[in-house]
C-alpha cells in the first residue's frame, strides 16, 4: 500500500501503545490486528525489533549533505519527512544529538508535527562548551559532558542505566556516523531529498573506507516515498 494514502488515526494510536509493550508476541498480534495501515507497514519492523533498539536518522541531499557549509539545514527534506522524524521521536524513549547540531540549531527535539509523547533529550558535549543552549534549560535533558560523551558505548550504557531503552540518534552526520561505525545502530532511516548542496556542504554518513566495492556496507533496505523525498530504511542488523 502506498504510504502517501490517508493515515487512519487509529493506526497511530495503536502504534504508540504498542511502542511501550515489552512482549513481542503482543506487539505482533497488535500489528496484525491493524495490518494494512500505512503507518503500521512503515513502523512495524521498528516495533518488532524490540524495546531496546537504537535507531538513527538523517535527511540528506542528492550529494550526501545534511546542511550547507555554514550549517544551514532548514530544511533539507520536506514536510512528510519532518512528520516521519516526529513519529520516530514519539516512538522512542530518548533522542540523542551531537554538539555540532546543538551549537548550530539549538533544536527543540519535541513531538509537534504528530500526536505523541516527547522523548528525553540527550545532548553530547565532549568539550563542555554548550552551556548557553535552550535545550539544556529543561531539567529533564540529559547533558553528557567530557569523557561521558566521547564514546557511543559509554553513552548507551549511561542511558540504559537511566531506564532509557529505545534510542533515536538524530544527528548530526558525525554523531550518527560514530554510532553506526561503533556497530550500535540497528536501523538507519536515511531520507534523500532532490536537492544538491555543493562541495562545502556538511557530510551526512561518513564511515571508514572499505575496499573492494563488494565489501562496502549494502544493508537490506526498504524505501518509503515521503512527498518528493525517498526514505531508505536500512536494516543494519541483517
Ligand atoms: N539534515 C539532518 O538530518 C540533520 C540532523 C541533525 C543536524 N543537522 C545539521 O548537521 C550539522 C551538524 O552536524 P555535524 O556532523 O557537524 O555535528 P554533530 O554530529 O552534531 O556533532 C559532532 C561535531 O561537533 C563538534 N564538536 C565537538 N564538541 C563540540 C562543542 N562543544 N561545540 C561545538 N562543536 C563541537 C565535533 O568537532 P570535532 O571533531 O572537531 O570535535 C564534531 O564534528 C548542523 O549544521 C545541523 O544543522 C542536520
- Same domain membership, residue 146 and residue 40: no
Highest mean pLDDT among 14-28, 31-45, 82-96: 82-96
- Atom 47 (ligand 1) nearest CA: 73
Question: Alpha-carbon torsion 121, 221, 48, 54, what sign?
Answer: negative
Q: Which domain holds residue 27?
A: 1-50
DSSP string, 21-71: ---HHHHHHHHHHTTT-HHHHHHHHHHHT-TT-EEEEEEE-TTSEEE-TT-
122 CA distance to ligand 1 middle (Å): 14
84 CA distance to ligand 1 middle (Å): 22
CATH number for 150 = 3.40.430.10
Q: Dig out the grid coordinates for 211 from the structure.
A: 575496499
> pLDDT, tens digit, for every residue of 163-216?
999 999 999 999 999 999 999 999 999 999 999 999 999 999 999 999 999 999
- Atom 40 (ligand 1) nearest CA: 100
Question: For position 38, what pLDDT does the model report?
Answer: 86
Please check whether residue 182 is in contact with residue 154, taking contact to mean a CB–CB distance below 8 angstroms.
no
Total domains, the chain: 2
Which ligand 1 atom sits nearest the alpha carbon of residue 98?
20
> pLDDT, tens digit, for every residue of 126-151?
999 998 899 999 999 999 999 999 99
Confidence of residue 33 (pLDDT cuts 50, 70, 90): confident
Question: For position 10, what pLDDT does the model report?
Answer: 61
Question: For position 9, what pLDDT does the model report?
Answer: 52
The average pLDDT across 80-98 equals 98
- Atom 36 (ligand 1) nearest CA: 100
- Atom 7 (ligand 1) nearest CA: 172
- Atom 29 (ligand 1) nearest CA: 99
- Same domain membership, residue 224 and residue 153: yes
136 CA distance to ligand 1 middle (Å): 16
The set of residues, in sequence order, having a beta carbon less than 8 Å from that of 218 and lying 6+ positions away, is none
Confidence check: pLDDT of 2 > 70: no
- Same domain membership, residue 57 and residue 11: no
DSSP string, the chain: --TTSPPPHHHHHHHHHHHT---HHHHHHHHHHTTT-HHHHHHHHHHHT-TT-EEEEEEE-TTSEEE-TT---TTSS-HHHHHHHHHHHHHSSEEEE-HHHHHHH-------SSSSPPPEEEEEETTS--TT-GGGGSTTSEEEETHHHH-HHHHHHHHHHTT--SEEEEE-HHHHHHHHHTT--SEEEEEE-S----TTSEES------SSGGGS----EEEEEETTEEEEEEETT-
Question: For position 35, what pLDDT does the model report?
Answer: 77
The average pLDDT across 226-230 equals 97
> pLDDT, tens digit, for every residue of 48-75?
999 999 999 999 999 999 999 999 999 9
Please check whether residue 230 is in contact with residue 223, taking contact to mean a CB–CB distance below 8 angstroms.
yes
- Same domain membership, residue 39 and residue 85: no
Q: Which of 2-11, 73-82, 137-146 has the lowest mean pLDDT?
A: 2-11
Which ligand 1 atom sits nearest the alpha carbon of residue 125?
31
The average pLDDT across 16-45 equals 90
The average pLDDT across 40-44 equals 92
- Same domain membership, residue 13 and residue 83: no
Please check whether residue 236 is in contact with residue 188, taking contact to mean a CB–CB distance below 8 angstroms.
yes
The average pLDDT across 100-122 equals 97
Looking at every residue in the chain, the average pLDDT score rounds to: 94
Higher-confidence residue: 235 or 7? 235
70 CA distance to ligand 1 middle (Å): 11
- Same domain membership, residue 122 and residue 11: no
Nearest CA to 130 among 168, 98, 172, 167? 98
- Same domain membership, residue 215 and residue 161: yes
- Same domain membership, residue 12 and residue 83: no
- Same domain membership, residue 172 and residue 81: yes
- Same domain membership, residue 57 and residue 44: no
- Same domain membership, residue 105 and residue 9: no
Question: For position 3, what pLDDT does the model report?
Answer: 46
- Same domain membership, residue 56 and residue 45: no
Amino acid at each position: 500500500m502506498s504510504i502517501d494514502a490517508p493515515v487512519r488515526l487509529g493506526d497511530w494510536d495503536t502504534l504508540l501503545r504498542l511502542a511501550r509493550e515489552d512482549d513481542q508476541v503482543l506487539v505482533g498480534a497488535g500489528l496484525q490486528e491493524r495490518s494494512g495501515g500505512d503507518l503500521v507497514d512503515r513502523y512495524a519492523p521498528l516495533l518488532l525489533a524490540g524495546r531496546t533498539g537504537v535507531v538513527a536518522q538523517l535527511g540528506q541531499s542528492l550529494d550526501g549533505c545534511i546542511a550547507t557549509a555554514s550549517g544551514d539545514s532548514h530544511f533539507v527534506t520536506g514536510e512528510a519527512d519532518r512528520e516521519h522524524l516526529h513519529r520516530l521521536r514519539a516512538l522512542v524513549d530518548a533522542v540523542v544529538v551531537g554538539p555540532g547540531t546543538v551549537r548550530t540549531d539549538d533544536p527543540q527535539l519535541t513531538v509537534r508535527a504528530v500526536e505523541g509523547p516527547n522523548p528525553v533529550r540527550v545532548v553530547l558535549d565532549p568539550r563542555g562548551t554548550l552551556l548557553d543552549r535552550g535545550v539544556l534549560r529543561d531539567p529533564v535533558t540529559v547533558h553528557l559532558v567530557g569523557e561521558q560523551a566521547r564514546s557511543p558505548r559509554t553513552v548507551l550504557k549511561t542511558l540504559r542505566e537511566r531506564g532509557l531503552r529505545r534510542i533515536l540518534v538524530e544527528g548530526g552526520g558525525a554523531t550518527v556516523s560514530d554510532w553506526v561505525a561503533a556497530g550500535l545502530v540497528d536501523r538507519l532511516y536515511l531520507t534523500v531529498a532532490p536537492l544538491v548542496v555543493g562541495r562545502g556542504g556538511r557530510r551526512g554518513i561518513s564511515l571508514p573506507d572499505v575496499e573492494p566495492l563488494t565489501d562496502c556496507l549494502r544493508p537490506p533496505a526498504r524505501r518509503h516515498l515521503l512527498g518528493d523525498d525517498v526514505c531508505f530504511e536500512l536494516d543494519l542488523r541483517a
